Amino acid sequence: MPSISTKQFGIVQFVEEDVFEFPNGLPGFESEQRFLCIERPALRPVVFLQSIAQTDLCFITLPARSVDPGYELEVAAEERKVLGLAAAEAPVWDQSLACLAIVCLPTDGSPTANLLGPVVLSRETHKGVQAVRDDRRYSALTPLQSAASEQKPAVPSPVEKSQADRLAEV
């Protein structure tokens, strides 16, 4: 059984079927193409996205709907192909897909989650992709509101102005 020695979890053993393959890596981490999803019952609903090759790289993620219960997933044709979904397949959110928002936990400052580019995983094909949206509905820095500061679930905050200025679709 293969295993990796990680910074956060020590030795982690896994089987090949556990591995999620990201054929394009993630923006900024293009060469990281194999990840494990790690959960700890005491830390649910957090899901850790642990790189297999670069063992000190581990993203903290939350299911997108834990961040925003009304979150609507959108997956472009290119990314559907990566995940092994049929191009014209309308429903994107079903049992076979998981949608995780990468969380940013700065030492100083408030936690945020990236709802602009959620990580989408297919449980069927075990492929993954960071599906960066091209609309401006959600922010890459969506604040994680505490119950004390807000009664209702986090409302997606408006996306940074700089993005509105550029509308290029390559």
Q: Is the peptide bond before 45 cis (omega within 30 degrees of 0)?
A: yes
> Smallest distance from the beta carbon of 134 to other proteins, in angstroms?
6
What is the residue whose two structure tokens read 């591995």? Answer: 19
- For other proteins, the binding residues (CB under 8 A) are 8-10, 12, 14, 18, 26-29, 36-47, 57, 59-60, 62-63, 65-66, 98, 100, 102-107, 111-112, 114, 116-117, 121, 123, 126, 130, 132-134, 140-141, 144-148, 153-154, 160, 162-163, 165-170
Residues 102 and 111: beta-carbon distance below 8 Å: no
> Smallest distance from the beta carbon of 159 to other proteins, in angstroms?
8
Gap between the Cα atoms of 128 and 21, Å rounded: 6
Quick one: tokens of 7? 């910074």
Pick between residue 29 and residue 81 the one whose CB is nearest to other proteins. Answer: 29
Pick between residue 91 and residue 106 the one whose CB is nearest to other proteins. Answer: 106
> Smallest distance from the beta carbon of 20 to other proteins, in angstroms?
8
Pick between residue 27 and residue 70 the one whose CB is nearest to other proteins. Answer: 27
Pairing status of strand 10-13 against strand 3-6? antiparallel
> Smallest distance from the beta carbon of 93 to other proteins, in angstroms?
13
Pick between residue 117 and residue 156 the one whose CB is nearest to other proteins. Answer: 117
What is the residue whose two structure tokens read 């019952």? Answer: 41
Q: How many CB atoms lie within 10 A of CB 162?
A: 7
Residues 82 and 129: beta-carbon distance below 8 Å: yes
